[in-house]
Structure 1
């Protein structure tokens, strides 16, 4: 990670006076995007990008009542309590190792991965990568508190889904997802219309197989964006970035949590696919570029979802993934 000068920590400190959302429900993507830029060797561009994004930031929300070990269940899934939840995790992370806090709360939060359009778990995945890859500084621990707090505040579970015939590979399973008929509405409205998904991850119990399948899912969802991203250029990004966030968190989690994490990640990726996929894919061919060249184009474009999908594409690291990032650049509105 290109962060020898502490630029990422400076950016995170700058961002922690802002709330996790804006305009009532839209997510503040800046913490995730600046982490991605630093991770991809572009720390020197972090503050310039942040200056462009800054007008979208809103003030940190007001607190209501402290979250405690006794009352946390009543506060779970209440977006009005975002500041309370962030404060709770700030206190927890000051008292205990961050891996212990994550291991305790991951199974509590995992069933509600779908809240906030999956952005909370994505933010946590970026925070965990930073902590695993570098110094456990105060801004990086605070960033984990913000991610976990946002997740708890937007915790949203799914009703029981009807299992459909599955498929052998992740790519085939995503192709087997049936797009919902009515795709008008916001994320919570569309999510409520998802009633059935193909079986793909439910039988996995071995942790190493779960990790392998998560990688397969991230690759398949990233590749699929190149041919299906025109269905909804922004929201379909999350079919890849949400499971990748879970994959990034696995090394910090007990192995017993890996298989449940795969199942939640599959459901999220498949649900997003059902909610936003077009009726048909279209062929897409992209120029042969290096990962560094793709990052350069994503940074010049500036859109936060483009940056995050490019970051995931570099994790996958093949031509199909780079094509997906380039497709996102073509489809998305630049940040200006």
Structure 2
């Protein structure tokens, strides 16, 4: 299925509707709606956007209150402070009002990249969806505003993970490197932040890559490998293991809008995020999985939409980016093992 720019105006309407809501709910759970509706519009289902959003609406919370404007003098201390989400979104709104969106993205990408673990990697995923839309079509005001919301959320939830040892590994492919990831101890307890603290070592896959084109190839292969792997390992945690592929795919989507000098660092950050999620939610053992027949990409995406869960929709979106039979099978597996939304 080819992704195309939404030309109906529905996505812009949905984004305007969503920008009255905060990036999170219950103080810690991410608002997935902007990402999911972008995926629906990108795959030709703009007609389903508002209907899906009506069902998701009970999960939305009011926009958070401002604390203090972000300035050049105080932004360092505000970085990573989730209480400042509204301040950061307003800051990026001002930045994007005065400068081209690519210029703002390029300036902030290397500053935000080390902290892509924050918010369970959702902020970078939201930015990846926003960038895809901007690259595909007109930079309308709601779409630029969505980039401000994504970047602001990323800055507010910015969380580096220092002290993770990168261990030499004899793995020439992303598949082999993911297989070499060791599960964290006591991986059945705690949420994402608590588990992340127990990630102390990861394989140093692709650490020597410096050429931008090679970095893009390797990042593409990482997304493919992580997507394929979900079919046999997703039962470790059906929702969270989705991010092992959707987070690096968000980075991959942003590359065309970034200077080539940032492509290799982006690969390295995407690898550590994917490997960390793999380590945090690894199952005790893989299981064999055979898809229940052959399905066209459009059929797989329709099944994901019918299921309705935001992670299932976003994972199917990434699987369609990969585009091969194993990726589509992984998307079907996500539909099979994920809890549908409550009626």
Residue matched to 2:214: 209
**Equivalent residue runs for 1:13-28 within 5 Å:** 13-28=16-31
Counterpart contact for 2:165–2:201, Cα < 8 Å = yes
Give the superposition deviation at 1:2. 5.6
Aligned partner of residue 53 in structure 1, secondary structure? helix
Aligned partner of residue 280 in structure 1, secondary structure? coil
**Number of residue pairs the alignment of both structures matches:** 336
Q: TM-score, normalised by structure 2?
A: 0.97
**Equivalent residue runs for 1:146-225 within 5 Å:** 146-166=149-169, 167-183=171-187, 184-225=189-230
Aligned partner of residue 67 in structure 2, secondary structure? coil
Q: TM-score, normalised by structure 1?
A: 0.99
C-alpha distance after superposition, 1:68-126 (max 9, x if no partner): 12211010000000000000000000000000000000001001010000000000000
**Equivalent residue runs for 1:67-86 within 5 Å:** 67-86=70-89
1:52 equivalent to 2:52? Answer no
Residue matched to 1:288: 294
CA distance in 2, matches of 1:104, 1:165: 32
Residue matched to 2:97: 94
Give the superposition deviation at 1:206. 0.4
2:325 maps to which of 310, 319, 323: 319
CA distance in 2, matches of 1:262, 1:284: 29
Q: Where does the alignment leave 5 or more consecutive residues of structure 2 unmatched? A: none
Aligned partner of residue 44 in structure 1, secondary structure? helix
Counterpart contact for 2:5–2:136, Cα < 8 Å = no
Aligned partner of residue 202 in structure 2, secondary structure? strand
Give the superposition deviation at 1:202. 1.3
1:43 maps to which of 43, 46, 50: 46
218-227 or 196-205, which moves further after superposition? 196-205
1:329 maps to which of 330, 335, 343: 335
Counterpart contact for 2:5–2:133, Cα < 8 Å = no
Counterpart contact for 1:2–1:42, Cα < 8 Å = no
Give the superposition deviation at 1:55. 0.3
Give the superposition deviation at 1:164. 2.1
Q: Where does the alignment leave 5 or more consecutive residues of structure 1 unmatched? A: none
Give the superposition deviation at 1:197. 0.4
Counterpart contact for 1:115–1:154, Cα < 8 Å = yes
Aligned partner of residue 190 in structure 2, secondary structure? coil
1:277 equivalent to 2:282? Answer yes
CA distance in 1, matches of 2:164, 2:120: 18
1:63 equivalent to 2:69? Answer no
221-230 or 279-288, which moves further after superposition? 279-288
Give the superposition deviation at 1:201. 2.2
Aligned partner of residue 197 in structure 1, secondary structure? strand
RMSD, aligned CA: 0.7
Counterpart contact for 2:300–2:332, Cα < 8 Å = yes
Counterpart contact for 1:207–1:259, Cα < 8 Å = yes
Give the superposition deviation at 1:162. 1.8
